[in-house]
Structure 1
């Protein structure tokens, strides 16, 4: 039997770094906030309740949409991080529009107490949930949490509202009437100390989460986390701006409102990219499954029939003139079918060295030949190139064994000069006359040359009677 060949271990894939987008967002927010503080010429405030309501509606819809996406991610992966982010966005989405609208427009409370403390509490809890999600990372959460996806935020909101309602007039006034001032030049820094503390806690939570999430996105190559990191940066600086201009509870629009909407825009981009990647992966899975189905059909159908023909032809009387031709044709067709099955069942990201090792091991076992394989595992090739190179190697090895009687075949894959890559198949067979072989027009050589040109590359054959042969493919 042929020698066993060790398989190459696939090289680990290096994750892309997404930190640049987060750093750019930090720099942008710092410039905006600094300009707001120290620029004496630019008015940052616009009194427009309708536009305020439009932005709140957009923020709420995006938050709830991304929360739905995260809920489905949790159902598929079971990560606690996805569940916490889902809860945070539900809370933030409801606080942006529903809570404020119900309290102020439906119930009619605008005394600066419940209509401020209730949304503030919900938003602070949402910010802390985002920070908790960044801390837990990719830990797996209990499946029973899916029952609380919507129930937990509703219970929290109702509970906080009940406590604040019972407190009633004993609650401190969060915001005074000085916010009615139409000056948009100087920061107000107004409100109850607890209001300012709440905004500060929210800002710190979002900013800390942005740093941690950016690192996780680089490690896990997660598209949604990639956009979540700068979104948290915008949300954190929005809370910082609310410390200076608490426009969140007024009809005024300030930079904090714009930054907050920018946060949800980035979340929407991340959600759409996540959906695009998901459906692309689903398409690839469907293609792989179909290829494997075809491979099974070939293996269980065509290959079995070819194996039967080979066995039956070998049992024909030796006097039969076409016995050898039939047997050789069956063996060659069986080899082609095996190559097709291997190609259909292979994984797209298999390293070239691993594929060559596997094909060499199969050839060594089938033809009882000693194969020496030396490959540079750092050499990469796409799927079509891997298939072409394996077919060239198989054809060269089969020709060396059948026609040249080779007992030793060496396969080498190395990097050549000027960035080229080179596959060499060398045997100790009887060799052949290259001029005569080219004149006869053997299909095997023609097929190998065509595959080499399609890499794109070139093939060179060196041989002489009694001196073996060498096939070199350069691409």
Structure 2
């Protein structure tokens, strides 16, 4: 349930679910015969069993998807849904066994209110990566659920009948608060699963409202609230299943991308390097017909290998080390010198990668065209990230220079590019001893 690309569910949104459930509730208020529950023991057992299976399956998928070491809001959310699922399973078991009574209903109310309170906490809990043990949140959550359950059961036991209506209203109000918080977070973070959970919470809230307005007559009767409650679990199941499919798809795409990068590296380190060597040696044959023919063939083969590498790994998606290796091969061909890359640093953003590629390109071309360099080494190391471009050219002035007073446009452009991504640019050049260009990023 991590933050990622915007993916919106194609089916009901929170607003649509709220409007639909509200319309049904208003219809029940306006049309008296809709308020009546009807006796259907078989259907009631089927609804309770189906709802319980949906609840247990959904919670199991959610735990598998989010885990217990991801985010604080995930833990509160999972704990709340576990409490609601256990409550639903217990109610279903009592109804199927024929042991359900109005006295047992107070325990169901306690479990439902405890679960909804945890959902409301989850809607406003921190979303950052969990930095403490899961039990640091699970233990207080369990204590809160136990306290709410006990208080609700005692109150409902002391106020049977109509006295229990405020509890149903409180559950509905808590679900509304949870739905608002979850929907706001889902829209802000583009998390489709949270949006589906908000849909389920809305449906559950209206189910509790219907229970409060028109309490069920008996355990064997089917009530509108029962249908809305099952729909709530179904919406949650669809959301969790969609999130699971998206995660599996993302893992599959990541595996494919990893294999494509491996093939691109093999192609670059093998065929492309050999072709670059042939091209450099062919350049020494001069203007002879054979030399020109070999040179042309090598150029065409190098271009084909570059296209193959780019087809395997688009430049915008490739990691920094791959981008620099590709750049080194191209610069070696264009400038007629050897470019060595040593990259031992974590990957960077696409913006930083693009600016570093331009800086290295400019420094290498300067070394070849103005310094007569035959060898350039690019070192990328450490945290903070440090990029060093060292050449064996003739240099252009004595002593060290920070680059701040250099008039050359290329050097000014390199410094500006480094500063654009928050880096520091420096340059050292000694006549006859080459040049060092360095960029340090925070």
Q: Contact 1:19–1:218 at 8 Å: present in 2 too?
A: no
For 1:29-85, what per-residue CA distance to the aligned partner results, in whole angstroms no more than 9, with x for missing partners? 111111211213445411123322221222222122221222223338712222222
Distance 1:212 1:163 in 2: 24
Written as runs of structure 1 = structure 2, the 5 A alignment for 1:11-90 is: 21-42=13-34, 44-75=36-67, 78-90=70-82
TM-score by length of 1: 0.59
Seen in structure 2, the aligned counterparts of structure 1 residues 95 and 129 have a Cα distance that, compared at 3 Å, is: same
Q: Contact 1:60–1:92 at 8 Å: present in 2 too?
A: no
Written as runs of structure 1 = structure 2, the 5 A alignment for 1:72-151 is: 72-75=64-67, 78-98=70-90, 101=93, 105=97, 110=101, 112-113=102-103, 115-136=104-125, 138-142=127-131, 144-145=133-134
TM-score by length of 2: 0.63
Correspondent of 1:338 among 306, 309, 317:
306
Seen in structure 2, the aligned counterparts of structure 1 residues 36 and 57 have a Cα distance that, compared at 3 Å, is: same
Distance 1:337 1:284 in 2: 24
Say whether 1:200 aligns with 2:192.
no
Report the equivalent of 1:448. none
Q: Which has the higher contact order (CA 8 A, sep 6+)?
A: 1
Report the equivalent of 1:273. 242
Report the equivalent of 1:172. 157
Distance 2:230 2:123 in 1: 21
State the secondary structure of the residue aligned to 1:285.
helix
Distance 1:287 1:91 in 2: 39
User: How well do the aligned residues superpose, as a CA RMSD in angstroms?
Assistant: 4.1
1:220 is displaced (CA, Å) by 2.4
Correspondent of 1:191 among 150, 157, 162:
162
Seen in structure 2, the aligned counterparts of structure 1 residues 152 and 14 have a Cα distance that, compared at 3 Å, is: closer
Seen in structure 2, the aligned counterparts of structure 1 residues 215 and 93 have a Cα distance that, compared at 3 Å, is: same
For 1:195-229, what per-residue CA distance to the aligned partner results, in whole angstroms no more than 9, with x for missing partners? 22321221112112222222322232222122222
Q: Contact 1:16–1:218 at 8 Å: present in 2 too?
A: no
Correspondent of 2:294 among 315, 319, 326:
326
Seen in structure 2, the aligned counterparts of structure 1 residues 287 and 88 have a Cα distance that, compared at 3 Å, is: same
Correspondent of 1:299 among 268, 287, 293:
268
Q: Contact 2:94–2:100 at 8 Å: present in 1 too?
A: no
Report the equivalent of 2:224. 255
Q: Contact 1:66–1:268 at 8 Å: present in 2 too?
A: yes
1:251 is displaced (CA, Å) by 2.5
Q: Contact 1:64–1:89 at 8 Å: present in 2 too?
A: no
Distance 1:338 1:61 in 2: 54
1:101 is displaced (CA, Å) by 3.1
Seen in structure 2, the aligned counterparts of structure 1 residues 23 and 158 have a Cα distance that, compared at 3 Å, is: closer
For 1:306-349, what per-residue CA distance to the aligned partner results, in whole angstroms no more than 9, with x for missing partners? 12222333344x48541122123213322321232233222677
- Structure 2, unpaired ranges of 5+: 319-325, 336-442
For 1:255-297, what per-residue CA distance to the aligned partner results, in whole angstroms no more than 9, with x for missing partners? 1111111111111111221122122212211211111111011
State the secondary structure of the residue aligned to 1:322.
helix
State the secondary structure of the residue aligned to 1:266.
helix
- Structure 1, unpaired ranges of 5+: 1-11, 176-189, 351-358, 369-475
Report the equivalent of 1:241. 210
Q: Contact 1:313–1:323 at 8 Å: present in 2 too?
A: yes
Q: Contact 1:67–1:85 at 8 Å: present in 2 too?
A: no
Distance 2:53 2:77 in 1: 15
Seen in structure 2, the aligned counterparts of structure 1 residues 215 and 157 have a Cα distance that, compared at 3 Å, is: closer
Seen in structure 2, the aligned counterparts of structure 1 residues 229 and 49 have a Cα distance that, compared at 3 Å, is: same
Seen in structure 2, the aligned counterparts of structure 1 residues 71 and 45 have a Cα distance that, compared at 3 Å, is: same
Distance 2:12 2:100 in 1: 44
